[in-house]
Structure 1
């Protein structure tokens, strides 16, 4: 007969029987109802078997009658484990706290992720989820069923066609399918499109309205380019003029570019400080004291702890203070001129719009004086030259 799991739970020992009359000992044990489990002969005059803890204390009379001796080889079962734990109380208590802590940590929601949203901001979705009890460090058993949460989130987020809530481990993913809503064009009053600058028209294309000028025509600021009035003197209709008009515009710039520049350089010296970060708070653990530099820049880099692909709310932060020094550097007149022109071109493109193109430049005046280069430059730019002008239609009495 083999040892069952119930016998192991109650406690069992492996013993070796030797000396005396081993065969008689086995027969007497069977007669007394003492179970010798997994009985096997190891050598002549010796045998090994498993004995339950309760039957082990019934062997003494039988050993006296047969003159045998018994030696305990192994002990296993719950009673012996409890005895070991009783000797190591602090270890057992730590193990218990560890198991409970791991269970509690795995029962928390560590992160909430929003996917599939393009129009609805993620902050709005997370705010609606918080109202339904979905937020970091929430107990998982306090959450409602996924179907219920999906319906409640859809009710609180207009513009969604479907919302799915999925929980994997300690992470919750909110998948959103937004409703397709046709673009609503704002209502506009009738208008003209007029020129924003004095220019020469290079391209005109009216999507709605009546073109008034042609290509290669010089126009002044405020001239009507695309009219919002259609028809003749008897039958007229006012519309919202729409279209594209591009033209050549001249921009005159006075550029001042210094020959002496102040340049920031790094000396290579640094002071490193380490911080322990937990739940949005940082505790400094090294690098105390003020930085021994007169001028410096601070660079921070935070590293979060990741466990099974989940970013935990604690980690460490490295703060480096880099010593800097400002030096004066002299540039040539050609370099100052090139840099001044580059800044002027960037300023023109920023003001004229992303579709503007500089087609030419003409240097009108240039001189170097008092450590600076002075230039007057005329830029020729092709750009959009339209702006809206409300159309007020007065009907006769």
Structure 2
């Protein structure tokens, strides 16, 4: 069976041969390696058959020797199709150009909509988008993806709590949630201030209420520090005690730090690859081959191609391969102790208020074991220990 695709690509013709001895003419063609098929007889002196285009160029020589007349009835295949396309190249070129223009315009930014932002915030967002190149008339392939735009806006525009970025066709839609202004202080009910933990009083600032303790007093958890009952006996009133009572508190921390740590760092080398993605097929178009470096991390960004409002199953893939090297960080025992102490401080601070300070630290136990420095540390902290507690109602006698 003949391969119809091969014959279509190379081209084929249907030939009509008339004259005496047409059968001998067919035999001559076959003996000389010319392939024919679909041979049909039309009367006693006429036959038709199909043959390859390249063989048809040789047939006239054999026809003159046999006193046969030949004519070509039908031409088919890629060469003739290409020839017809050349005759209509203006129309075909115009159609292709039109499609390319439509595809280009479908991937240009034509709109940016910002919802949920005040005018001042909207102006800030517009300026930041302009810096990133997200503006009307810019090709979408040359701007960050929506995740990158969202991340940069959140980092660079201070009064945003959250921003959602969505690309629909040729328009970016941004939904903004702004940070709320500080709420007005709530009206507090009458209350006392009590100690939230055991401490030695270091300093006090009382706005309203009657202080019960003094500097250097030792207090226990739950002990009354500032009373919300003020006035002379018989002429008292209840208020919301407000103030700060700073006390010296104590914490213990256990930390372990290895003397040697292995980790990866980027060395600045990178290789970029670009590809055309059609469905599940990825076709490299730039940056062929494997990188020269062995260890690397890959960052891939895929941008969809649009046609009018439709998203085509075609994407442009951009891949960045960043070289990395494994390095070993080695501490001396003294350096490890210093870094372990700093690590313990950060751990303690993470559980305290922003205004708390570390007054002093003391290493209770130090040990070098299994390639690690192990420390037990005692910290003295100055922090606000006052918390509000409702004034208990008096029970009638």
Tell me the TM-score normalised to structure 1 length.
Answer: 0.49
